[in-house]
Amino acid sequence: MQSCKRATELMSQQLDRELSGSEKLSLKMHLFMCRHCRKCDAQFKVLHRLASARSQVDKPDKD
């Protein structure tokens, strides 16, 4: 099993780029076995959604 440190790196990277097949599988297996990383992954996703929504609100209207 990969380390939690590596798993969190992949969680962060998946928000910015498409993970390779082996990275996806490795992360999925780790998340299956590690409840702490599952919680961290959920928090990453919430923060990413909030940041994306906020950036949409802050965009000036173009006329």
Residue 62 reports pLDDT greater than 70: no
What is the tens place of the pLDDT at every residue in 2-59? Answer: 899 999 999 999 988 999 999 999 999 999 999 999 999 999 999 988 988 877 766 6
The pLDDT of residue 15 is 87
Q: Do residues 49 and 17 lie in contact, with contact meaning Cβ atoms separated by under 8 Å?
A: no
Closest to 9 in 3D by CA, of 22, 60, 23: 23
Q: Do residues 7 and 30 lie in contact, with contact meaning Cβ atoms separated by under 8 Å?
A: yes
Closest to 41 in 3D by CA, of 22, 54, 33: 33
